[in-house]
């Protein structure tokens, strides 16, 4: 191992009975954390470490809203760890040399982490595991972020799935997901002598200007908050979830997506808590619980696709869409969409909700994405990048996967001819304009902008463009 210590401490040789280093990433929790569980069961003192790596080759830097959430989540995790007698060590930079340096400083006998599924992240993890093994240090990774590892679910022909329904059927045909692991009641801390960055020094929170007021009002990051939100959802909103989940003015969704994205709660914890709740339900309410678990399955499918198509955020999954005749970028139209000033109430309400709260109702995400792609004829990658920067739940799998689904270029995609009409969607899902008025107070007044496009004309143009793709390279799917 060539890495050296960065804190000035004298490096110590690794030893079989040395402390365990737990490298936290997208799993900012103490409960149901397989890597932490393994470290505790090993019976040696434990050092908890988080590395903010946005510089290793291929790693995608986080967006602004994600940075804000990460700050709050790390602060919460540090407090939770301190309550159990442990200290959270923070470092920033390329993970490979930093993990090597930390292992040497600690005299670690083992390093544990939970797996990531992007290609660049896997490359980093593979290199670190090789370095640690060469140094005589046990290095082991665990399944902590998904219910089903992407390589374990295959079609009868041995290929990855490209359609959700058979994928999820294959997932649920086998044994149920394992039971969650309990959080340790106390930790024997090995990190006291390790240097740590100061979280505020990372400047993850906005200051000039401070645009995060709406995020603070809307969210409470952290493991405890994640479980409180899940409990509230299961008690109050789960029974009508199947019928009300598409109504953006209702508090009918779980609000679990950012907590899941940052690993403040695990899918196993959500699965088993929901399954327990489902046993006490009948009829439509029980169906609602099954529908909610299917949404967890959609996230699993997104990661299944990302694992097998690592360039999901930049390349069409269906190669035929490479021929799509995108016109030159209309910067004014893109800005109007980003700012929620398109003149279409549901689109504008969604985009303003996104900017204010760092989130958007799922039905409205589909409407706003369809409008950008199919009415403004702007490349889906522009929208994916905007969401990446503004969503607190910007997820490396779900974000590009869902954008490609709407565009028609992805797995199990919406048919190319499906164009969401934002006015019809508003009439159907926000009939009293409650959601619109919550987010666009000037709607219906003289100050509200006129529509920037004609829905009929732009729909016809989108269909004509898609017909060119189909004629150039018929898609067997």
Same-domain pairing of 267 and 156: yes
Residue 29 falls inside a structural domain: yes
Domain edge (last residue) among 255, 287, 308: 308
At residue 468 the predicted structure's pLDDT band, cuts being 50, 70 and 90, is confident
Same domain, 134 and 171: no
Residue 417 belongs to domain with CATH number: 1.10.579.10
239 and 363 part of one domain: no
Among 145, 162, 196, where does a domain finish? 145
278: which 2 tokens?
Answer: 């489902």
Q: 93, 124, 145 — which closes off a domain?
A: 145
CATH code, domain carrying 162: 1.25.40.80
User: Is residue 252 a part of any domain in this protein?
Assistant: yes
Map 376-438 to HEC letters.
Answer: CCCCHHHHHHHHHHHCCCCCCCHHHHHHHHHHCCCCCCCCCCCCCCHHHHHHHHCCCCHHHHH
Residues 166 and 108 in one domain: no
Nearest to 142 by CA among 37, 260, 268, 28: 37
CA–CA separation, 471 vs 332, rounded Å? Answer: 31
Q: Is residue 407 part of a domain?
A: yes
Residues with Cβ within 8 Å of 447's Cβ and at least 6 positions away in sequence, in order, are none
Residues 303 and 336 in one domain: no
| pLDDT score recorded for residue 19 | 97
Q: Is the per-residue pLDDT at 206 higher than 60?
A: yes
Domain assignment of residue 357, yes or no? yes
Q: What is the CATH number of the domain that holds 139?
A: 3.40.50.620
Number of domains in the chain: 3
Output the pLDDT for position 74: 98
The pLDDT score that the predictor gives to residue 213 is: 97
At residue 102, the pLDDT reads 97
Side-chain half-sphere CA neighbours of 398 within 13 A:
21
Buried b (16+ CB within 10 A) or exposed e, 7-33: eeeebeebeeebbbbbbbbbbbbbbbb
Q: Are residues 388 and 457 in the same domain?
A: yes
Domain membership of residue 132 (yes or no) is: yes
Run of H or E residues at 91: strand 88-92
User: The tokens of 316 are what?
Assistant: 């069409």
Answer yes or no: are the C-beta atoms of 387 and 394 closer than 8 Å. Answer: yes
Q: By three-state DSSP, how is residue 111 classified? A: strand
Whether 136 and 251 map to the same domain: the answer is no
H or E segment at 42?
helix 34-42
Residues 369 and 452 in one domain: yes
Looking at the fold, whether 133 and 159 belong to one and the same domain comes out as: no
Q: What percent of the chain has pLDDT over 90?
A: 92
**Residues 160 and 113 both lie in one domain:** no
Same domain, 250 and 347: no
The residue length of the chain stands at 477
User: What is the residue whose two structure tokens read 């299917």?
Assistant: 294
Report CA Rg, the chain. 23
Residues 262 and 395 both lie in one domain: no
Q: What are phi and psi of 386, to 5 degrees?
A: -65, -45
- pLDDT tens, residue by residue, 144-189: 999 999 999 999 999 999 999 999 999 999 999 999 999 999 999 9
Domain carrying residue 292: 146-179+223-308
Rounded CA-CA distance 299/259 in Å is 13
Q: For residues 395 and 26, is the Cβ–Cβ distance under 8 A?
A: no
What is the per-residue pLDDT across 26-52, written as a single tens digit (0 to 9) for each?
999 999 999 999 999 999 999 999 999
Q: Does residue 421 belong to any structural domain of this protein?
A: yes
Yes or no: say if 91 and 102 are a contact pair by the CB < 8 Å rule.
yes
Lowest-confidence region among 184-193, 233-242, 403-412, 413-422: 413-422
The reply to whether 208 falls in a domain is no
Instruction: Band the pLDDT of 245: cuts 50, 70, 90.
Output: very high
Structural domain includes residue 197: no
């Amino acid at each position: 191992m060539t890495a050296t210590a960065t804190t000035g401490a004298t490096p110590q040789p690794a030893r079989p009975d040395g402390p365990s280093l737990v490298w936290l990433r997208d799993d900012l929790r103490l409960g149901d954390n397989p890597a932490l569980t393994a470290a505790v069961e090993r019976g040696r003192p434990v050092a908890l470490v988080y590395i903010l790596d946005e510089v290793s080759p291929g790693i995608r830097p986080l967006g602004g809203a994600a940075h804000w959430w990460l700050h709050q989540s790390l602060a919460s995790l540090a407090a939770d760890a301190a309550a159990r007698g442990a200290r959270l060590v923070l470092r920033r930079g390329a993970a490979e040399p930093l993990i090597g340096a930390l292992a040497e400083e600690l005299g670690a006998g083992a390093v544990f982490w939970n797996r990531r599924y992007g290609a660049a992240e896997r490359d980093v993890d593979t290199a670190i595991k090789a370095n640690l093994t060469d140094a005589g240090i046990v290095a082991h990774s665990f399944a902590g972020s998904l219910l089903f590892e992407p390589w374990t679910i295959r079609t009868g022909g041995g290929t990855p799935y490209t359609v959700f329904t058979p994928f999820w059927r294959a997932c649920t045909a086998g044994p149920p997901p394992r039971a969650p692991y309990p959080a340790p009641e106390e930790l024997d801390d090995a990190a006291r002598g390790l240097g740590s960055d100061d979280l505020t020094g990372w400047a993850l929170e906005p200051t000039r200007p401070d645009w995060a007021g709406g995020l603070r009002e809307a969210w409470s990051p952290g493991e405890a908050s994640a479980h409180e939100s899940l409990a509230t959802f299961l008690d109050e909103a789960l029974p009508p979830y199947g019928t009300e989940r598409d109504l953006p003015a209702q508090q009918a969704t779980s609000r679990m997506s950012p907590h899941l994205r940052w690993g403040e709660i695990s899918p196993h914890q959500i699965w088993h808590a929901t399954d327990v709740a489902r046993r006490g339900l009948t009829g439509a309410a029980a169906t609602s619980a099954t529908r909610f678990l299917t949404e967890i399955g959609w996230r699993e499918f997104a990661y299944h696709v990302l694992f097998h198509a690592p360039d999901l955020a930049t390349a069409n999954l269906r190669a035929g869409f490479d021929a799509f005749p995108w016109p030159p970028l209309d910067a004014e139209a893109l800005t109007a969409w980003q700012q929620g000033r398109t003149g279409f109430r549901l689109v504008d309400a969604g985009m303003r909700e996104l900017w204010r709260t760092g989130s958007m109702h799922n039905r409205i995400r589909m409407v706003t994405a369809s409008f950008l792609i199919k009415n403004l004829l702007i490349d889906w990658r522009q929208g994916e990048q905007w969401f990446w920067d503004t969503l607190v739940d910007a997820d490396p799998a779900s974000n590009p996967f869902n954008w490609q689904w709407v565009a028609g270029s992805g797995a199990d995609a919406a048919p190319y001819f499906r164009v969401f009409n934002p006015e019809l969607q508003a009439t159907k899902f926000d009939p009293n304009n409650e959601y619109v008025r919550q987010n666009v107070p000037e709607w219906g007044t003289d100050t509200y902008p006129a529509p920037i496009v004609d829905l009929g004309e732009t729909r016809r143009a989108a269909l004509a463009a898609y017909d060119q793709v189909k004629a150039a390279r018929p898609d067997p799917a």
